[in-house]
Structure 1
Amino acid sequence: MSDQADSSKIVALACDHAGLEMKRALLPVLEEMGVAALDLGTDTSDSVDYPDFADRLAQALADGRAERGILVCGSGIGISIAANRHAHIRAALCHNSTDARLSRQHNDANVIAFGARTMGDEVAKECVRAFLTTGFEGGRHERRVSKMSPGRPGSA
């Protein structure tokens, strides 16, 4: 397990209108960690559809423009479901730093999702720090993650 973020990695961020302010609050955390941010929108409070932004983030990871991602909508539920429709995405809806750490250690999550209406910015910041500084343990977890991830050894 790593205890600091790899500054060579790029993290993509995307949100709907409900998640805009939280997304903006998370950008300085990435900067202070030395991690580059790829902001995929939205950039206004005008109503938008969260699946469109989950798709943008999934495409950025598929294209190799980012290593990991952060998604935010009102509850975090819709945007995480939309992201997980993509076979290469393992998005974890997290509510605290323990969830964030375990999503990496046990599930090798590559995307973290938040609900801007269900948690505060400070908790989300703690979660981002845990998510970006925790590695995948592998071992007994590898077999399970392989069953969810095309292209990994042991996947169907």
Structure 2
Amino acid sequence: MARIAIGSDHAGFDLKTHLVGFLAAEGHDVDDHGTDTPDPVDYPEICAAVGRTVVAGRAELGIVLGGSGQGEQLAANTVRGVRAALCNDLYTARLAREHNDANVLSMGGRVVGAGLAEEIVALFTTTTFEGGRHQRRVDQITALEGRCGDADDSGR
């Protein structure tokens, strides 16, 4: 099984707590980056910490959770090497892994119920990257990361 880094804000806390137990029962090692209470907390640093753990190789995959999952995905994607995907359904979870080699899953605790979240996590953690034509595109994304912040970059 895999080592999974996980983190949430207060809106994702209940789902995170549920998924920590689910992941452990499935045999995964879980690295919980918090939050540890339902008290209001900002998510950016928590999600970036999950991303840094994955990029550093201390976890194979990451999961970030919030109300919608959108901000959490954006925060995780600030870490070079993270490919965080917002997947509130099974289809996007499968394609995020197969086509985009996503390494961080983002979900919304106010969007996805516990049962569906378990299915999404199970699919995300067992689906492999297809490579092939998709590898070329992932390589292009990686190359773009090195150019980020160039104000005069026309994107061509």
- Shared fold, TM over 0.5: yes
Deviation, structure 1 residue 65: 1.5
Partner of residue 37, structure 2: 44
User: Which secondary structure does the structure 2 equivalent of 1:149 belong to?
Assistant: helix
The reply to whether residue 93 of structure 1 matches residue 86 of structure 2 is yes
1:21 to 14, 23, 45: 14
Kindly name which structure, 1 or 2, has the bigger radius of gyration based on alpha carbons.
2
1:126 aligns with 2:97: no
- Identity of counterpart residues, as a percentage? 45
Q: TM-score, normalised by structure 2?
A: 0.88
Name which of 64, 69, 75 aligns with 1:82.
75
| Number of the residue aligned with 2:152 | none
Partners of 2:82 and 2:118 in 1: CA distance: 21
Q: Of residues 114, 124, 147 in structure 1, which corresponds to 2:107?
A: 114
The residue that corresponds to 1:60 in the other structure is 53
Whole-angstrom CA distance in 2 between matches of 1:87 and 1:63: 11
Gaps of 5+ in 2: 148-156
Aligned length: 145
Q: What is the alpha-carbon distance in structure 1 between the residues aligned to residue 37 and residue 21 of structure 2?
A: 18
Aligned to 2:141: 148
For normalisation by structure 1, the TM-score amounts to 0.88
Q: Aligned match of 2:130 in 132, 137, 148?
A: 137
- C-alpha separation between the residues in 2 aligned to 1:141 and 1:86? 21
TM-superposition CA deviations, 1:103-151 (whole Å, max 9, x none): 100000000000111121111110000001100000110000111125x
Query: Which consecutive residues of structure 1, in runs of 5 or more, have no partner in the other structure?
Result: 1-6
Comparing 116-125 and 128-137, the one that deviates more: 116-125
Q: Aligned match of 2:97 in 104, 110, 115?
A: 104
Name which structure has the greater RCO, CA cutoff 8 Å, separation 6+.
1
RMSD of aligned C-alpha atoms? 1.4
Aligned structure 1 segments of 4 or more residues deviating by more than 2 angstroms: none
